[in-house]
């Protein structure tokens, strides 16, 4: 049983909202505010109902040290713009500034604490260290709302320990994410197509293993595809290759054949002489990558093939770009997959992380997709069947 914020009496109460505001920064400039925008509805609803909202979040991996380049101050300014109110900023996480800032909040007002990961206890493997921080954070609030889906797979103090200390509920973002993921795992409409990309097969081992039992077809692109091509005996040149995963991938190819799951690999590759936007590059057959070249995107025929394999899908999940989409010469494959998802009649889910960033970077309308997740790692671990500590903590 998981309560939602509709089940909490929040008027006049201090409500700690664990949000995911882990956005990319260029200096003090936020280059993609998607996660902040995704957090706004829950915070706005609590405000409107008279809560005193205390937002906690992390940014980057400062590893328990105060590092100015990881400060959430620019995020406080952007959150305030999106909410249309002044967001007060505490210069520490659970210390004097946090206590003073929270004490001044009136009904409907919002404060953001400094980066939770500036506290060593947030990410500590030591239960006592996490508990000590959770106790201090609990002193700032009367209620807890878990709404940082991108962090729910982490056993961190603010995610897994703090909810046990306060009456708690799931925020709208987390609740929606779970509804979508259950739709993918419990009753997907078929055909169910999954597009997997990104750099490494090893990052996706668990989810591939699980999807071989649930999906109808797997479309493989990105850097991870070269381990698949090498497993079939093809030359991959200087492309990203995880040689220690070749036997595992051969096992997946066998299992897929035996279980009737279609694995779709690219037929052509954009190969460059070096890793650079201005490198000499051209399209080569996927089974004939020159030894002195590296693959940096799936080719145009593969883009058409992948789109065709998505066209009749009724459910589609995408995690991981098809190439180095940040460089324009290697963005076409990722663009083709995104467009293929939009053109299909499927319920389409973009699995967070780089895929969600690609949708925004390449200029696609986010509303054209069924759902864009805010948590790539969390989505994958859920699809693997793993317990997510931040979700378990919200269940009674």
Q: How far apart (Å, rounded) are the C-alpha atoms in residues 93 and 73?
A: 12
- Is 34 one of the annotated active-site residues of the chain? no
Q: Which of 3, 99, 165, 200 is catalytic?
A: 200
Q: How far apart (Å, rounded) are the C-alpha atoms in residues 392 and 76?
A: 29
pTM for the model: 0.89
Q: How far apart (Å, rounded) are the C-alpha atoms in residues 224 and 242?
A: 8
- Is 304 one of the annotated active-site residues of the chain? no
User: What is the predicted pLDDT for the residue at 102?
Assistant: 98
Q: How far apart (Å, rounded) are the C-alpha atoms in residues 89 and 57?
A: 12
| Per-residue pLDDT tens listing for the chain (396 residues) | 799 999 999 999 999 999 999 999 999 999 989 899 999 999 999 999 999 999 999 999 999 999 999 999 999 999 999 999 999 999 999 999 999 999 999 999 999 999 999 999 999 999 999 999 999 999 999 999 999 999 999 999 999 999 999 999 999 999 999 999 999 999 899 999 999 998 888 888 889 999 999 999 999 999 999 999 999 999 999 999 999 999 999 999 999 999 999 999 999 999 999 999 999 999 999 999 999 999 999 999 999 999 999 999 999 999 999 999 999 999 999 999 999 999 999 999 998 778 988 998 999 999 999 999 988 889 999 998 899 999 999 997
User: What is the predicted pLDDT for the residue at 127?
Assistant: 97
Q: What are the φ and ψ backbone dihedral angles of 32, each rounded to 5 degrees?
A: -155, 110
Beta strand 315-319 pairing with 371-372:
unpaired
- Four-residue CA torsion sign, 74, 79, 84, 89: negative
From residue 358, how far is each of 39, 268, 332, 361, 379 by CA, in Å? 19, 21, 11, 5, 17
Q: Which of 353, 375, 376, 390 is catalytic?
A: 353
- Which domains can be identified in the chain, with CATH numbers? 5-171 (3.40.50.1260), 179-384 (3.40.50.1260)
Residue 308 burial by Cβ neighbours in a 10 Å radius (0-12, 13-18, 19+) = exposed
Angle at 175 between CA 173 and CA 180, to 5 degrees: 95
CB atoms under 10 Å from CB of 61, counted, come to 11
Q: How far apart (Å, rounded) are the C-alpha atoms in residues 306 and 328?
A: 20
- What is the separation of C-alpha 44 from the centre of its chain, rounded to a whole number of angstroms? 22
Q: Is 297 annotated as a binding residue?
A: no
Task: Assess contact for 46 and 10: CB atoms under 8 A.
Answer: yes
User: What is the predicted pLDDT for the residue at 291?
Assistant: 96
User: What is the predicted pLDDT for the residue at 357?
Assistant: 87
Q: Is 268 annotated as a binding residue?
A: no
Rg (CA), the chain: 22
Q: How far apart (Å, rounded) are the C-alpha atoms in residues 224 and 248?
A: 13
Task: Assess contact for 138 and 166: CB atoms under 8 A.
Answer: yes
Token digits for 371? 């759902």
Token digits for 394? 């919200």
Q: How far apart (Å, rounded) are the C-alpha atoms in residues 325 and 297?
A: 8
Q: Is 182 annotated as a binding residue?
A: no
Q: Is 204 annotated as a binding residue?
A: yes
Q: Is 222 annotated as a binding residue?
A: no
Task: Assess contact for 216 and 259: CB atoms under 8 A.
Answer: no
Q: Which of 14, 35, 136, 217 is catalytic?
A: 35
Q: Which of 150, 299, 377, 390 is catalytic?
A: 377
- Is 165 one of the annotated active-site residues of the chain? no
Q: Is 326 annotated as a binding residue?
A: yes
Q: 119: helix, coil or strand?
A: coil
Q: Is 390 annotated as a binding residue?
A: no
- Is 377 one of the annotated active-site residues of the chain? yes
Task: Assess contact for 117 and 59: CB atoms under 8 A.
Answer: yes
Q: Is 140 annotated as a binding residue?
A: no
């Amino acid at each position: 049983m998981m309560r939602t914020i509709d089940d909490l009496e929040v008027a006049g109460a201090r409500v700690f909202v664990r949000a995911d505001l882990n956005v990319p920064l260029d200096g003090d400039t936020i280059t993609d505010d998607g996660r902040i925008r995704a957090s706004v509805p829950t915070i706005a609803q609590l405000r409107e109902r008279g809560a005193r909202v205390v937002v906690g979040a992390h940014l980057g991996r400062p590893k328990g040290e105060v590092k100015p380049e990881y400060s959430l101050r620019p995020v406080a300014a952007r959150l305030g713009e999106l909410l249309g109110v002044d967001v007060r900023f505490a210069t520490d996480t659970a210390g004097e500034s946090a206590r003073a800032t929270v004490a001044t909040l009136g009904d409907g007002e919002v404060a953001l604490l400094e980066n939770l990961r500036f506290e060593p206890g947030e990410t500590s493997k030591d239960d006592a260290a996490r508990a000590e921080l959770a106790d201090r954070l609990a002193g700032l609030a009367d209620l807890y709302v878990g709404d940082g889906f991108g962090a729910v797979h982490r056993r961190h103090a603010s995610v897994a320990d703090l909810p046990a200390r306060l009456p708690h509920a799931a925020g709208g973002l987390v609740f929606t994410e779970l509804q979508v993921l259950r739709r993918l795992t419990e009753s997907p409409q078929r055909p169910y197509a999954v597009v997997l990309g990104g750099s490494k097969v090893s990052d996706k081992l668990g989810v591939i293993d699980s999807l071989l039992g649930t999906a109808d077809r797997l479309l493989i692109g990105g850097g991870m595809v070269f381990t698949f091509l090498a497993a079939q005996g093809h030359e991959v040149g200087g492309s990203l290759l995880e040689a220690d995963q070749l036997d595992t991938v051969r096992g997946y190819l066998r299992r897929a054949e035996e279980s009737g799951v279609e694995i779709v690999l690219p037929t052509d590759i954009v190969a460059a002489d070096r890793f650079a936007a201005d490198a000499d590059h051209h399209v080569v057959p996927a089974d004939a990558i020159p030894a002195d070249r590296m693959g940096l995107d799936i080719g145009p025929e593969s883009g058409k093939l992948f789109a065709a394999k998505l066209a009749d899908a009724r459910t589609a999940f995408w995690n991981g770009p098809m190439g180095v989409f940040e460089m324009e010469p290697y963005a076409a494959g990722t663009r083709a997959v995104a467009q293929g998802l939009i053109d299909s009649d499927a319920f389409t889910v973009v699995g967070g992380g780089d895929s969600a960033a690609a949708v925004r970077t390449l200029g696609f309308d986010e509303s054209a997709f069924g759902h864009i997740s805010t948590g790539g790692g969390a989505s994958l671990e859920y699809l693997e069947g793993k317990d997510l500590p931040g979700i378990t903590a919200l269940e009674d």
